[in-house]
Structure formats: structure tokens, C-alpha cells
Amino acid sequence: MKSSSLFILIGLIALVTALKAEIKEQAVIYQAGGVTCEGWKVSDDAKTGRQPAVLIVHQWTGLTDYEKMRARMLAELGYTVFAADIYGQGVRPVPPASGKEAGKYKSDRALYRSRLNAALDVMRQDPQTDPARMAAIGYCFGGTGVIELARSGADVKAVVSFHGGLDSPTPADGKKIKCKVLALHGADDPFVTAKDMAAFEEEMKAASVDYKRLNYPGAVHAFTQKMAGRDNSKGVAYHAEADAQSWVAMKEFLAESLK
């Protein structure tokens, strides 16, 4: 390599390094209906002013390193990110206790919506958040949650559900949805019935919601989570291709919705 080319390469590397995102992470203690919760904020401190923001809603074991990892990925894309804590500080159950904890909120959608909106309020009030450009994404239990957030009439631009429950206990609430909805679904997910999917489609269409549902062949429940293993026969398994494709779909959806 000629010396001039080498110097150009070194200069480009230095420039990229200088422009590298300064990702900052911190716990955020907040109150939700008298319950102390511990969320997680991740942002790029190299950016100035208010940025588009994304709320992350966790899966059934509560806020874990998985959601924090996804928060970092989103922050590297330029978003201010807040990972919600639906269960409350220190409540991080493992199966089978996680099923019982998640069930409390799935059977009481009003309670679930109140916890979701409390987290959204924290994100909205953050000085790095542009309140006119907010979205929410969620995984499994959280995938159900972001649709419930939309059904509550929350003032967000978009929600993205990754392998979430698509049941519609109060179909009329679809008329409260103000945002775009993207449901990313494992085509072979045994936990989301054809009846639930039909009810979801009917609710969205009846309320004239701008929505899309993408199915990933060969993928079952929890297809974005490596900790789920790779045995599809269990109904819960990681699927690398579906994981990658769904992340791209989400990125494009958020970029368009929050521009």
C-alpha cells in the first residue's frame, strides 16, 4: 500500500473513532401506581438536543440483560431508549414463577396499561426525548404490552410487537389506537392461535389502524432470544434468520414512523 493511501486510511479510522457514539447507560427509579420500579435508560450522549425515543417492554422474566442489550442496539441507531420495568424493582421471576407474574397483567389489562403508561411518561419527560417522536417495542409478554399501550390511546407514533400475544380481549379499544402497528410473528408459534390472529386482524381493520403483520416461516415463539435454545419442538426457540429479518423490519418501520 502506498504511503499516501495508508495516511488516508489512518485518517478515516481516526474520523470514525472520533464520531463513535458515546453510549451511556443508567438505572432509573420511578413510581407506577405506588410501586417502585427500576427501568434502564440508554442514550448516545454524543448527540445534542431531543432525539426520537423508543420504549422497550420486557419479556415474562422482567427487565433483564436481554432488554438492555436491545436498548444499546437502538441507542447506537440514534434513539433515546428507556426499558420499562412492569413488575417492580427486584421482581425478576424465573419460570414457572414468571408465568404467574405475567398472568397478573395479562388478566388485568387495565393494570398492565397503567404500568406501561407510567414508563412511557418517564421516557416522555426525559430531556433527551422528543415527545413528538416516540415509539415502543416489546418481546413476548412485552409484545402483548406494546399493543395494549396502543389500545390505551397512548400518544406514540408506532409500536412493534416481537412474538407477542395477539389476542383481543376488548376489540372496541382498537378504535383508541393512534399509531402504526407492526406485529412480527413466528409462523409456527403454537402459543398464538389462528383465532387470536383472526381477532387481531379484525380489530385492526375495524378500527382502520395502519398495521402490518409479518410471518417468519419455521420460527416459533421467542424467535429473537438465543436463551430460548434451538429446539422448535418445545414451541419456544431461537431462529437466527427470523431474528435478523425482524430487526431489519423494525429498523425500517421506526425510521419511517419517527422521521
pTM check: above 0.85: yes
Cell 405506588 belongs to which residue?
34
The strand pair at 35-44 and 23-32 is best described as antiparallel
| Residues with Cβ within 8 Å of residue 35, at least 6 apart in sequence | 88, 115
Radius of gyration of the chain (CA): 19
On whether residue 161 sits in a domain, the answer given is: yes
On whether residue 16 sits in a domain, the answer given is: no
CA distance 139 to 56: 8
> N- to C-terminal Cα distance for the chain?
42
CATH code of the domain covering residue 192: 3.40.50.1820
On whether the CB atoms of residues 184 and 126 are closer than 8 A, the answer is no
CA distance 209 to 205: 6
Cell reading at 31: 413510581
Cell 441507531 belongs to which residue?
77
On whether residue 10 sits in a domain, the answer given is: no
What domain range is 192 assigned to? 21-257
Single out the residue of 162, 155, 197 nearest to residue 177, CA to CA. Answer: 155
Q: Domains in the chain: how many in total?
A: 1
Is the Cα dihedral 104, 106, 109, 114 positive or negative? Answer: positive
Written as tens digits, the pLDDT of the chain (259 aa) is 454 554 455 455 544 544 567 999 999 999 999 999 999 999 999 999 999 999 999 999 999 999 999 999 999 999 999 999 999 999 999 999 999 999 999 999 999 999 999 999 999 999 999 999 999 999 999 999 999 999 999 999 999 999 999 988 899 999 999 999 999 999 999 999 999 999 999 999 999 999 999 999 999 999 999 999 999 999 999 999 999 999 999 999 999 999 9
On whether residue 15 sits in a domain, the answer given is: no
On whether residue 200 sits in a domain, the answer given is: yes
On whether the CB atoms of residues 86 and 106 are closer than 8 A, the answer is no
On whether residue 64 sits in a domain, the answer given is: yes
Cis peptide before 96 (omega within 30 of 0): yes
On whether residue 5 sits in a domain, the answer given is: no
| Amino acid at position 101, single letter | E
On whether residue 13 sits in a domain, the answer given is: no
